[in-house]
Structure 1
Amino acid sequence: MRKLRYSINVALDGCCHHEAGVAPDAESMRWWAAEMGRADGLLFGRVTYGMMESVWRRPADGAWPGWMEAWQVPFAETIDRAKKYVVSGTLSDVDWNAELVRGDLEQAVRRLKQEPGEGLFVGGVTLPLALADRGLIDEYTFLVQPVLAGHGPTLLAGLRERIELELVDRHDFRSGVVGLRYRPAGRG
């Protein structure tokens, strides 16, 4: 059974807007490439899929854009080639190595988890809340940014029930970011 892993950047005040944290650097991009590399499928909602595709999809000519630094390329290549599953009731089709996930969310994700492989990665805000509410997330990884954002969407806002977690790993970045990996208590 594949594990479903949720990973996201979060400010100290719980804000998880993608521009609220510390700017990515070579160390954090290596970490994110490895994190996504632990999965053989990326599960995104419509908004996260669109945001990621607009930045990290390899252009048709095969050359990465001029704004991209060399240390960003391994992350770009990892996300570009990954299999993607997009949960959306409004999109009629997707590409970028992706397929639409429709119907009952819990049944669809349980089916994906039953497929052979290393694991699934989920990012974003809205979809992970729905997955956490259904007890489908096997691992939570938060890159805690040393900032107070003061605004924006907050981590798992509206969660119906408290989820007890146990710390399984910690990584301190030179930038002051702290990576914390948890699993739901009792799921050794």
Structure 2
Amino acid sequence: MRPLRYAINVTLDGCVHHEAGVAPDEELMRFWTEQMENSDAELYGRVTYEMMREAWKRPDDGVWPDWMDEGEQEFADTLDRAKKYVVSSTLDEVDWNAELVQGDLREAVQRLKEQPGKGLSVGGVALSTALTDLGLIDEYIFVVHPILAGHGPYLFDGLRERVRLEPVDRREFRSGAVAQVYRRVDAAS
């Protein structure tokens, strides 16, 4: 069974808004590219899918915008090629190498996890909280930035029950950000 990993940038006060000042530098862009390369597919909710598609889908003319540096282009290339699954009850169709996931969330994601491979990566806020509540996320990767945003949305806002995690890895970046990797501790442990 392939693991489901939740990976996200977060401020010290728990804000996960993409405009909270946590824009990755070259070193962090490489880290995020490596995370995608270690997954078979990305799993997004509708909001995250639309946001990522808008920012990172290759333009129709095939030319990346001038604002992208080499690291951002490498990230964009990797994400553009990646298989994507989109959980949505409102979208009728998706593009960008994506497939809709509909029906019972637990059953649909469990089927994806049961396929052979390196793993799945989930991003965003609402979907990851729902998947945590269902006990489906195996690993959590938080890149904690030395910023206090003072506003939300916040990491796991509305989580129904406490989840025990054990640290498995840690990496510091020149920017002061720290990647912390945790594995879920099963209730049977």
Q: TM-score range by the shorter chain?
A: over 0.9
Q: What's the counterpart of residue 139 of structure 1?
A: 139
Paired with 2:112 and 2:23, the residues of 1 have a C-alpha distance of 33
The answer on 1:104 being equivalent to 2:119 is no
How far did 1:185 drift?
1.8
- The Cα RMSD (Å) is 1.2
The superposition leaves residues 55-104 of structure 1 with CA deviations (integer Å, 9 ceiling, x where unpaired) of 10011221111111112111111110000000000001001000000000
Q: What's the counterpart of residue 118 of structure 1?
A: 118
Runs of 4+ in structure 1 deviating by more than 3 angstroms, as ranges, are: none
The answer on 1:76 being equivalent to 2:72 is no
Quick check: 2:5–2:137 contact (8 Å CA) kept in 1?
Answer: yes
Q: Which residue identity lines up with residue 54 of structure 1 in the other structure? A: E
Q: Which residue identity lines up with residue 71 of structure 2 in the other structure? A: W
Quick check: 1:164–1:184 contact (8 Å CA) kept in 2?
Answer: yes
Q: What's the counterpart of residue 42 of structure 2?
A: 42
**What is the TM-score of this pair, normalised by structure 1?**
0.97
Quick check: 1:15–1:151 contact (8 Å CA) kept in 2?
Answer: yes
**What is the TM-score of this pair, normalised by structure 2?**
0.97
Q: How does 1:50-89 map to 2 (within 5 A)?
A: 50-89=50-89
- Structure 1 spans left out of the alignment, 5+ residues: none
- Structure 2 spans left out of the alignment, 5+ residues: none
Q: What's the counterpart of residue 151 of structure 1?
A: 151
Quick check: 1:15–1:153 contact (8 Å CA) kept in 2?
Answer: yes
Question: SS in structure 1 opposite 2:160?
Answer: coil
Paired with 1:38 and 1:154, the residues of 2 have a C-alpha distance of 26
Quick check: 2:86–2:98 contact (8 Å CA) kept in 1?
Answer: yes
Identical amino acids, percent of aligned pairs? 63
